[in-house]
């Protein structure tokens, strides 16, 4: 697995094939180091021929090169979209691997008990269903308001005293 | 004094698109039932309403829509 604190070794793809573990961004640290080494080489080849203007030009070029090499153009990266058949193939492969693992049965649950959580396969179909219509919603609101008003009329009516004197002499 | 409640429930049961009415108090006591609803489900309905109301504390009383493959209630 790959995470920030993983102790497992990183298994990069052996044959250069693009899969889910290939890096999307190049290592920025190694790139910077290469650029400064190159610019030093250029400076040593032509030590005496620089006038002020070409000094400025060379400095400008160095800055441009440095920027161009350290810029990360996310939009121009290689597009990793999966084709439809490759997606289906991967779904089948992953399902095979999941089914190959022996299922762990919880021994405490009896067969006829309904489990609280279970997998719903087509969640987007369920979630994109039509919500309640406005007329029904308003009907519910007005009906419940009427019922609340009617229930509030149920109250204790005081007919006679609770404590009755018996008139014992 | 339950006449206003009975009248109200009759009115709601006769409106279009209503197949049953169940009125329960906050503890689950069934106060009135009409049509397809059964009084045995008053406790479940009251508990469900209480749970749903606690999803957004402070908001208005919720309207719960139950969907199944056959119908939507």
Q: What is the ipTM of this complex?
A: 0.85
Q: Give the tokens for residue A12.
A: 């990069």
Kindly identify which residue of chain A lies nearest to residue B6, measuring between CA atoms.
Answer: A150
Question: Residues of B with CB below 8 A from A153's CB?
Answer: 1, 4-5
Specify the pLDDT at position A49. 54
Is B41 contained in some domain? yes
Q: Which of A129, A140, A149 sits opposite B63 (nearest CB)?
A: A140
- Mean pLDDT of all residues in A93-101: 91
User: Are A146 and B12 a contacting pair at CB < 8 A?
Assistant: yes
Residues near B25 by Cβ (< 8 Å), separated by ≥ 6? A151, B31, B46
Q: Which regions of B1-73 does DSSP assign to beta strands (E)?
A: 20-24, 30-35
* Structural domain harbouring B27: 3-12+21-53
**A66-75 pLDDT per residue, tens:** 998 888 888 7
Is B68 contained in some domain? no
- Split at pLDDT 50, 70, 90, the class of B60 is confident
Is B72 contained in some domain? no
Is B40 contained in some domain? yes
How many structural domains are present in chain B?
Answer: 1
Q: At what angle do helices B3-14 and A134-151 cross, to 10 degrees?
A: 170
Nearest-CA distance from A139 to chain B in Å? 9
Is B48 contained in some domain? yes
**B21-51 pLDDT per residue, tens:** 999 998 999 999 999 988 899 999 999 999 9
User: Are B63 and A129 a contacting pair at CB < 8 A?
Assistant: no
Specify the pLDDT at position A89. 92
> A119 and A126 in contact (C-beta within 8 Å)?
no
pTM score over 0.80:
no
> A93 and A85 in contact (C-beta within 8 Å)?
no
């Amino acid at each position: 697995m790959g995470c920030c604190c993983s102790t497992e070794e990183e298994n990069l793809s052996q044959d250069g094939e693009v899969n889910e573990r290939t890096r999307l961004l190049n290592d920025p640290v190694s790139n910077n180091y290469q650029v400064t080494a190159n610019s030093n080489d250029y400076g040593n080849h032509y030590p005496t021929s620089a006038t002020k203007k070409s000094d400025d030009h060379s400095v400008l070029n160095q800055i441009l090169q440095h920027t161009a090499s350290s810029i990360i153009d996310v939009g121009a990266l290689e597009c990793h979209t999966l084709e439809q058949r490759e997606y289906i193939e991967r779904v089948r492969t992953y399902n095979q691997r999941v089914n190959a693992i022996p299922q762990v049965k919880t021994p405490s649950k009896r067969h006829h008990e309904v489990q609280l959580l279970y997998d719903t396969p087509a969640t987007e179909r369920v979630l994109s269903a039509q919500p309640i219509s406005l007329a029904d919603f308003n009907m519910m609101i007005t009906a419940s308001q009427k019922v609340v008003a009617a229930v509030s009329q149920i109250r204790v009516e005081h007919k006679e005293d609770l404590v009755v004197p018996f008139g014992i002499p | 004094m339950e006449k206003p409640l009975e009248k109200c429930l009759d009115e709601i049961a006769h409106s279009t698109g209503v197949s049953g009415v169940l009125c329960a108090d906050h503890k689950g006591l069934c106060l009135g039932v009409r049509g397809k609803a059964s009084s045995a489900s008053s406790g479940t309905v009251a508990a469900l309403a209480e749970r749903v109301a606690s999803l957004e504390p402070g908001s208005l009383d919720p309207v719960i829509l139950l969907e199944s493959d056959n119908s939507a209630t």
